[in-house]
């Protein structure tokens, strides 16, 4: 479906596949879409959108979590905006038939090997962090998570009845090429930030991590202007809550990155704030980090900012429209500075706004904020 929202000749036609998905996915995606439309209109771009099913909602309608027509629409677009996948109704299904397998398959089909997850402590949200203000203040970390390797995809994998009791196994597996390409991405991104990369591994125990450390060290030689440090994942998990502002770019493998990014979300106030970009292939995938949260779905309490900030990342990374991205980021900052809070961000459970109210205010701010130069690089 094509929607033309501007009569002017557009600077760019933004061709986007939109996959609302499961749980809170559709609610937060609806707000992200309103902000996307506001930004497109403000900057004179056109939108060519195709809405498709993924995850549990696709299983219900088509019997599979990633229907061909969804994948085809994604591959035919310039970017994919996703809400979330995951539905407890399918908990008993085999792994390959569960909603989550659609997301893993989509990442693989898109060739999205680098997952960028920025966690920024907004000044007006310092009180929302479970950590002391003095510790969280100044935190601005970009987690670069390898997305197509490690335990998530490693073969062999499986489960059997075993000789004495049921057994299951997965394989953590990387080759140097897979590590190199994501390391290069992290160093390049660090250069546009504060020029520091913390590479996270478990090289005191795992062969995979030894290869990770060797390979990252070799790539680091090409970036003498970027500071490199190596940290074990357990120590990094602790440092992320004791001195989060000391990090710039954290580079790590798939599973460690999944875990550390949820932790980073809590540090800056709520996982609901975190956006992500999965890039490296021809088409980028943009989604909030928080997941489907079925327990709060349909109640108007989900935080749409992670989804909205994912639209900003889409402008920056897929369309190279930094001013558009910055205008959305400024609108989010302004909305928060005005005191707007979804329920996850308030301490006393009193004065909070609905998902819709939050999205409405951010979209208004996008319209109010004049296009400016000087975009942040995440």
Interacting residue ranges for ligand IPM, rule: CB under 6 A: 86, 100, 103-104, 258, 289, 291
Active-site choice (15, 87, 174, 202): 202
Output Rg (C-alpha) for the chain, integer angstroms.
Answer: 20
**Nearest CB to ligand IPM, comparing residues 176 and 255:** 255
Question: CB under 5 to 8 A by kind: which of ligand IPM, Mn ion, none does 142 bind?
Answer: none
Active-site choice (48, 140, 262, 322): 262
48: annotated active-site residue: no
- With beta carbons less than 8 A apart as the criterion, state whether 63 and 28 touch: no
Sign of the alpha-carbon dihedral angle for 195, 200, 206, 208: negative
**Nearest CB to ligand IPM, comparing residues 219 and 293:** 293
Question: CB under 5 to 8 A by kind: which of Mn ion, ligand IPM, none does 86 bind?
Answer: ligand IPM
258: annotated active-site residue: yes
Give 347's contacts (C-beta < 8 A, 6+ positions apart): 127, 128
**Nearest CB to ligand IPM, comparing residues 103 and 313:** 103
Q: In what order do the strands lie in the sheet with 79-84?
A: 46-51, 13-21, 79-84, 284-288, 275-279, 114-120, 140-146, 249-252, 196-201, 227-232
**Nearest CB to ligand IPM, comparing residues 21 and 304:** 21
262: annotated active-site residue: yes
370: annotated active-site residue: no
Nearest approach, Cβ of 258 to ligand IPM (angstroms)? 4
**Nearest CB to ligand IPM, comparing residues 124 and 261:** 261
Nearest approach, Cβ of 261 to Mn ion (angstroms)? 6
Contact call for residue 258 and Mn ion (CB under 5 A) = yes
Active-site choice (52, 152, 223, 248): 152
Question: CB under 5 to 8 A by kind: which of Mn ion, ligand IPM, none does 183 bind?
Answer: none
Nearest approach, Cβ of 222 to ligand IPM (angstroms)? 29
Instruction: Identify the bridge partners of residue 5 per DSSP, sorted by sequence position.
Output: none
Instruction: Identify the bridge partners of residue 146 per DSSP, sorted by sequence position.
Output: 114
Active-site choice (22, 87, 201, 258): 258
Nearest approach, Cβ of 1 to Mn ion (angstroms)? 30
Question: CB under 5 to 8 A by kind: which of Mn ion, ligand IPM, none does 26 bind?
Answer: none
Question: CB under 5 to 8 A by kind: which of Mn ion, ligand IPM, none does 100 bind?
Answer: ligand IPM
Instruction: Identify the bridge partners of residue 279 per DSSP, sorted by sequence position.
Output: 114
* Number of residues engaging Mn ion in binding (CB under 5 A): 1
Nearest approach, Cβ of 373 to ligand IPM (angstroms)? 33
**Nearest CB to ligand IPM, comparing residues 140 and 262:** 262
Residue number closest to ligand IPM, CB atom: 100
Residues acting as catalytic residues:
152, 202, 234, 258, 262
Q: Which residues bind Mn ion (CB under 5 A)?
A: 258
């Amino acid at each position: 479906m094509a929607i033309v929202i501007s009569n002017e000749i557009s600077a760019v036609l933004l061709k986007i596949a939109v996959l609302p998905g499961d749980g809170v996915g559709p609610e937060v995606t609806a707000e992200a879409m309103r902000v996307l439309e506001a930004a497109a209109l403000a900057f004179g771009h056109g939108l060519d959108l195709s809405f498709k099913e993924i995850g549990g909602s696709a299983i219900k309608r088509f019997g599979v979590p990633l229907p061909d027509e969804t994948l085809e629409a994604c591959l035919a677009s310039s970017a994919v905006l996703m809400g979330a996948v995951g539905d407890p109704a399918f908990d008993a299904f085999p792994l390959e038939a569960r909603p989550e397998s659609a997301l893993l398959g989509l990442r693989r089909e898109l060739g999205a090997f680098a997952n960028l997850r920025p966690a920024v402590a907004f000044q007006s949200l310092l009180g929302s962090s479970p950590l002391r203000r003095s510790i969280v203040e100044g935190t601005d970390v970009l987690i670069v998570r390898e997305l197509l390797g490690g335990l998530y995809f490693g073969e062999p994998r499986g489960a059997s009845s075993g000789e004495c009791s049921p057994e299951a196994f997965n394989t953590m597996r990387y080759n140097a090429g897979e590590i190199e390409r994501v390391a290069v991405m992290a160093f390049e991104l660090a250069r546009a930030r504060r020029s520091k990369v913390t590479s996270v591994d478990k090289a005191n125990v795992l062969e995979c991590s030894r290869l990770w450390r060797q390979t990252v060290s070799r790539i680091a030689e090409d970036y003498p202007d970027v500071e490199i440090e190596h940290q074990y994942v357990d120590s990094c998990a602790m440092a992320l809550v004791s001195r989060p502002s000391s990090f710039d770019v954290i580079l790590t493998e798939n599973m460690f990155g999944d875990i550390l990014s949820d932790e980073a979300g809590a540090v800056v106030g709520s996982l609901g704030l975190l956006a992500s970009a999965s890039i490296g292939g021809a088409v980028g995938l943009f989604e909030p980090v928080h997941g489907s949260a079925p327990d709060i779905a349909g109640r108007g309490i989900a935080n749409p900012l992670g989804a909205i900030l994912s639209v900003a990342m889409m402008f920056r990374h897929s369309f190279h429209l930094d001013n558009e991205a910055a205008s959305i980021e400024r609108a989010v900052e302004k909305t928060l500075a005005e005191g707007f809070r979804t329920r996850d961000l308030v301490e006393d459970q009193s004065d909070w706004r609905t998902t819709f109210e939050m999205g409405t205010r951010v979209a208004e701010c996008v319209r109010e904020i004049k296009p400016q130069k000087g975009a942040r690089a995440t």
